[in-house]
Amino acid sequence: MESRQILKERQGRSLLRQEVSEGIKRYILENKLRPGDPLPTESELSATLGASRSSVREAVKTLDALDIVEVRHGHGTYVGRLSLSALVEGLTFRGLLSRDDDFKVMSDLVDVRELFERGMAERILTSLDSDHLRSLYRLVDDMERSKSGDGTGFVEADRAFHALLVEPLGNELIGQLSLAFWDVYTIVVPHLGVITSKDEAETVANHRRIVDAAHAAHAGDTDAFTRAIAEHYAPVRRRVQEAREADAAG
């Protein structure tokens, strides 16, 4: 069997699965494939890269976890969306695992969320136009309406708001990171085991205050805007704090 040969030729240093993974990535890069483009079947990859189906499958699974590759059962393997899903899953697990550590992981996370919006305040205001402002107001209205409604509407509007807030920067990475941390926060907080305050009216008001400040300040002073953002994150931080104190008391 020739595969044994290849095994010998590899001089035993790195793992075959690792080489297969590199091979698949190289294939995508050399052929300049885009997200959604089809990849060769597992059998073809197996033959081309000189590894068994099992090794190819394990390699594909690691790339799938990073969203470099996407597998559709009974259909085929494709180039992945290259999203930050791996970051979300990793940080979510970290947040769940280290609840004991004074919930520091989560409070650090809120710091980062605030950093994205406060640190980019100036640039957000200068590139914000009236269309964006209108869309932001619309989302706040959506939150207002779906408040104490079915449920999913409120959080979805919240998520969309923070995506839209940094959108005028034209920096996709910041937008994706911002959403990734929003996702982690939203997933982890309900698992903290204690009931935390969740004043939806206050949340709506805080979001509206951000848009109001943006509308007023526009290209002028950014202080009111950054203050509004800080006030928005105060209750977010408080929820983590409440969970921490309840956990320490219990």
Q: Report if residue 99 touches DNA, rule: CB under 7 A.
A: no
Binding residue for DNA, selected from 23, 33, 35, 42, defined by CB under 7 A: 42
Total interface residues for a second copy by CB under 8 A: 47
Q: Report if residue 128 touches a second copy, rule: CB under 8 A.
A: no
d(CA 30, CA 230): 46
* Chain centre distance of CA 31: 28
Q: Report if residue 36 touches DNA, rule: CB under 7 A.
A: no
The SS3 of residue 165 is: helix
d(CA 199, CA 232): 12
Is residue 78 within 8 A of residue 68, CB to CB? The reply is no
Contact partner at residue 67 from DNA, a second copy, none, CB < 5 to 8 Å by partner kind: a second copy
Is residue 77 within 8 A of residue 42, CB to CB? The reply is yes
What burial class does residue 57 get, using C-beta atoms within 10 Å of its C-beta: 0-12 exposed, 13-18 middle, 19+ buried?
middle
Residues 36-65 contacting a second copy, CB under 8 A:
54, 57-58, 61-65
- Looking at the chain, the number of H-run helices and the number of E-run strands are 12, 2
Total interface residues for DNA by CB under 7 A: 31
Length of the chain: 250
Q: Report if residue 20 touches a second copy, rule: CB under 8 A.
A: no
Q: Report if residue 75 touches DNA, rule: CB under 7 A.
A: yes
Task: Give the footprint of a second copy on this chain (CB under 8 A).
Answer: 15, 17, 25, 28-29, 32-33, 54, 57-58, 61-68, 73, 82, 84, 86-87, 89-90, 93-94, 96-97, 100, 104-105, 108-109, 111-112, 115-116, 118-120, 169, 171-174, 177
